[in-house]
Structures are given as structure tokens and as C-alpha cells.
Amino acid sequence: MANFKKANGLGEWLDQRLWGKALVKVLMTEYWIPKRINFLWSFGMVLATLFTVLVVTGIFLMMYYKPDEGMAFYSVNYTIMQEVAFGWLFRHIHAVSASLVFLFIYIHMFTGIYYGSFKSGREIIWISGVLLFVAFSAAGFSGYMLPWGQMSFWAAQVITNLFGEIPVIGPDLVIWIRGDFSVADATLTRFFMLHVFLLPVVIIGVICLHMYALRAPHVNNENGEEIDFETEAKKYLAGNKIGSKVMPFWPKFMAEDLFVVCLVFALFSYLVFFSYGFAMDPINFLPADPLKTPEHIYPEWYFLWLYEVLRGFFFSSGLGLIAFTIANVIFFLLPWLDRDPLVQPMHKRPLVKYWFWSLMVVLVGLTIYGKLPPTGVNAWIGLALSVAFLGLMLIVLPILSACERKARQ
Ligand code: HEM
């Protein structure tokens, strides 16, 4: 067995191990990050940390959870919450992390949009990011089903029903997805498999792709400046650390990231211990009852904007489904909807900045109206916001970005 001296800090501890030495070498010489970045560039690491927390707490929850129609609700609300030592803590940490992951995904995603980090060779970083968003959405949805409360059951009912709107194959597809003629035990078991196995494996794979894609063509910066990473890295390694425009991932960038991760964990602890209710719907503390529809069915806060796009076209469920499908895939196309290849932050873009802030207002509006009952004037506001969202993405962005490009030539 190797005989290690007492290490003085993490760096020395890693240096004493062969694998640690190899990892540090790669992170110190292969991964370079521009210096001109701000705290918003730390949210990638925050997300990686939260995903780890979700996996670890999920493994502990799985030890007592029963994926069975008759037992799921009690295994969560009785066994885990009351019988198992600290079961409640693991459940709160898991639920709060799930909610915060979406908050930080949105921050990370809109940072990428604000600074134009999705274009000019960074398409794979962007597409793998949107894939992560989709995979996390599926994981969030399948996980929400597991406590088998009223909201779990009825949300599954509403979302699986959507597939029935697809022409010709719709009705058969719904039965295939549910594994039964209605949402039932077979549905719960397969969503359990998706949540604890298939989706985490897919997410880990896509995170690796996302991180690998960051190496080439490299991370963007606050000004969108084109940096010759090789020359700048050589400068740094030759000792000109101040003059170089880049810094190594380890330990410089990592140290800054860890600071933001610690701040996030202060908020995280507050939420876990004092305000965990925000991540759980009170209606979901009632056991699933297929004979009693809740008065209002709505998803968790992070899906409300999408849900409102679906409900917005209240006069036609077919149109709603088309809008919902577009909203789900439209972010993949962003690098091509923005017709100006120049990478610039929004505050330097004379026209597209209006598009960005309008999009923010519309998304917040959709989120607010997604929670309200879709009756009377709410239904019309929901329709206007849904049309505005589609218009901003499909029409306004291509036109404004093309005008900007033309004006510069
Ligand atoms: C769990 C999910 C994710 C993890 C762990 C993750 C991780 C990271 C890390 C570590 C970075 C480098 C540093 C930084 O800019 O923060 C990064 C950059 C980036 N990520 Fe993610 N990410 C995730 C999800 C997403 C999503 C959902 C999107 C977009 C839809 C996205 C788009 C990007 C882009 C465009 C960059 C490049 C930023 C730049 O060049 O300035 N990521 N990601």
C-alpha cells in the first residue's frame, strides 16, 4: 500500500496520488479559461455539484422507496419521512436540489444566450447543453411521479394524454407509454426505471460531451473576444501569468468556482432546513386518487412557462400541442435563428438586446400565468404570451439579427 505523507491542502493530496497527478496535469495544461469572465461562468460547476448531490441522495432514497402503486406514497411519506433516521433530510435535499438545478440551468442557459456563447463554432457546446435541459426535464417529470400523490398522478395523466393528440398513432402511443389503458402501476414502474437508471446514465454521458466540447473551441468571455488559446496558454506556461489572457482550469478557475459553489450552498442549506416547502406541492401530500381530479393541475414552477404555451391555445388542443412541441425544440435551433455570426454580449447589440429582454419578460409572464386558472381574461393573456414567445423566437430574432449584420457590413 502506498505510504503518503500528511498532505497540506487538496493540491498536495492530489499530487501524492498517481491518478491525482495525471488529472491535475490535464486540468493545468489542457483546459484554459479566459480571464475576462464573471461569476456567471461558475454556474456550470454549480450544476455539476448539484447533479452529484442528486445522485448521492437519490441512491439513499432508493434504499427505502417502493415503486409500487399501493406502497409508493407510504414508502415516501411514512417510511422515509418518519421511520428512517434522517430520511426526511435526504428527501428535502433531493427535492430542493431538483428545484435549484432548474433555476441554475436557466441562469446558465440565459448567460450563454446573453454573451452569444452558442454560436461561431460553439454549436456542440450549446446543443449538448439543450440536450441536458431536455434530459433534466424528463428526469424532473419522472421523479415528480414517484411519490404517487395527487399531483404526481394527474400530471402524468395530463402529459401522457398529450401524445394521444398525435394523428393516427396517438391513441396506441399513449397506451404504449403508460404500459396500461390508464396511468397505473406499470406506468409508475417504468418511470421509476427512467428516473433512477436510464436518464442519469444519459445525463452523465451528455455532461461528458458538454465538458469535452468546451476544450475546442473553448469557453467564451465577457466581450466575445476571439482569443488564440494556444499562444496565450504558452505565454502563461512561460511565466507571463499577468500578460496572458487565459488561466488554467486548475487551480485558478476552480478556486473561483468553489467560492460561488459555497455561496450557493449557503442558500441551499437555508432552503433545505427552513423553507423546503417551496419544492413540494401541498396537494402531493394526498395519495393518488384516479376518481378525484384536483381543482387545478399544474406542474412545478420550472415547467410553468412550457405548460402555459401548451394551454395558451385554449380553443384548439392540436395547436397547443404544436406550440408546445416547438417550444421544446426551439432552443436547439438558436445558433441558426440568430443570423449574425459575430459573438457579442447583448448590451453591445443595438437591436437584438430588445429581443433578449422581451423574451425574459414573456417567459416570466408565461410562468406566472401557468400557475393561474386558465379562465376569463387569463386565457387571453396566456394566448397573447404564447404567441409572443413563438413570434420572438421564430420571427423577431432572425429579422433583428440579420438587420444588425447588414448594418455592420
Ligand atoms: C447539468 C447540466 C450542465 C452542466 C453540469 C454544465 C456544465 C458546464 C460547465 C462546467 C461549463 C464551463 C463553465 C461555465 O460557463 O459555466 C459550461 C459552459 C457552457 N454551457 Fe453548460 N452545463 C450544463 C447545462 C447546460 C445547458 C442546459 C445549456 C444550454 C442550454 C448549457 C450551455 C453552455 C454553454 C453555451 C457554455 C459555454 C459558455 C461559454 O463559452 O462562455 N449548459 N457548462
Q: Write the DSSP assignment of 166-195 as a string of letters.
A: STTTHHHHHHHHHTSSSS-HHHHHHHHHII
pLDDT at 1: 53
Question: Does ligand 1 come within 6 angstroms of the Cβ of 321?
Answer: no
Least confident of 19-23, 115-119, 170-174: 19-23
**Nearest CA, atom 1, ligand 1:** 47
| CA atoms in the 13 A half-sphere facing the CB of 90 | 22
Most confident of 2-6, 167-171, 185-189: 185-189
pLDDT band at 384 (very low <50, low <70, confident <90, very high): very high
pLDDT digits (tens, 9 = 90+) for 49-84: 999 999 999 999 999 999 999 999 999 999 999 999
Question: Does ligand 1 come within 6 angstroms of the Cβ of 218?
Answer: no
Indicate if 189 and 304 belong to the same structural domain. no
346 Cβ partners below 8 Å, 6+ apart?
113, 114, 115, 116, 352, 353, 356
CA distance 406 to 409: 5
Residue with cell 420571427: 395
Query: How far is the centre of ligand 1, averaged over its atoms, from the C-alpha of 101 (Å)?
Result: 12
Q: What is the number of residues in the chain?
A: 409
The residue-averaged pLDDT of 203-223 equals 92
Indicate if 285 and 303 belong to the same structural domain. no
Indicate if 344 and 278 belong to the same structural domain. no
Indicate if 202 and 271 belong to the same structural domain. yes
pLDDT at 31: 84
Out of 53, 103, 108, 329, give the residue to mutate to test ligand 1, the one with the largest number of ligand atoms within 8 Å of its CB: 108
Grid cell in block for residue 273:
432546513
The alpha carbon torsion through 37, 39, 45, 50 (nearest 10 deg) reads: -160
Indicate if 310 and 283 belong to the same structural domain. no
Residue 122: CB atoms within 10 A of its CB come to 22
Positive or negative: CA dihedral 8, 13, 14, 17:
positive
Indicate if 339 and 381 belong to the same structural domain. yes
Q: Of residues 329 and 31, which shows the higher confidence score?
A: 329
Question: Does ligand 1 come within 6 angstroms of the Cβ of 51?
Answer: yes
25 Cβ partners below 8 Å, 6+ apart?
none
**Nearest CA, atom 9, ligand 1:** 44
Query: How far is the centre of ligand 1, averaged over its atoms, from the C-alpha of 43 (Å)?
Result: 8
Indicate if 268 and 330 belong to the same structural domain. no
Indicate if 153 and 274 belong to the same structural domain. yes
The answer to whether residue 339 scores a pLDDT higher than 60 is yes
Mean pLDDT of the chain: 94
Q: Is 287 helix (H, G, I), strand (E, B) or coil?
A: strand
- What is the CATH classification number for the domain harbouring 303? 1.10.287
Tell me, yes or no, whether 366 lies in a domain. Answer: yes
The residue-averaged pLDDT of 339-352 equals 96
Question: Does ligand 1 come within 6 angstroms of the Cβ of 118?
Answer: yes
Question: Does ligand 1 come within 6 angstroms of the Cβ of 46?
Answer: no
**Nearest CA, atom 15, ligand 1:** 41
Domain end position, chosen among 237, 254, 289: 289
Positive or negative: CA dihedral 43, 44, 47, 49:
negative
The residue-averaged pLDDT of 383-394 equals 98
Closest to 264 in 3D by CA, of 117, 48, 114, 36: 48
pLDDT at 45: 95
pLDDT band at 171 (very low <50, low <70, confident <90, very high): very high
Question: Does ligand 1 come within 6 angstroms of the Cβ of 382?
Answer: no
Out of 214, 260, 332, 393, give the residue to mutate to test ligand 1, the one with the largest number of ligand atoms within 8 Å of its CB: 214
Indicate if 310 and 180 belong to the same structural domain. no
Closest to 65 in 3D by CA, of 83, 46, 42, 47: 83
Out of 45, 210, 346, give the residue to mutate to test ligand 1, the one with the largest number of ligand atoms within 8 Å of its CB: 210
In the chain, the number of structural domains is: 2
Tell me, yes or no, whether 4 lies in a domain. Answer: no
Look up the domain containing 405 and give its range.
Answer: 298-409
3-state secondary structure 9-51: CHHHHHHCCHHHHHHHHHHHHCCEEECCCCHHHHHHHHHHHHH
For the whole prediction, is pTM greater than 0.85?
yes
pLDDT at 14: 86
Residue 227: CB atoms within 10 A of its CB come to 21
pLDDT at 356: 98
Question: Residue 136 in contact with residue 78, Cβ under 8 Å?
Answer: no
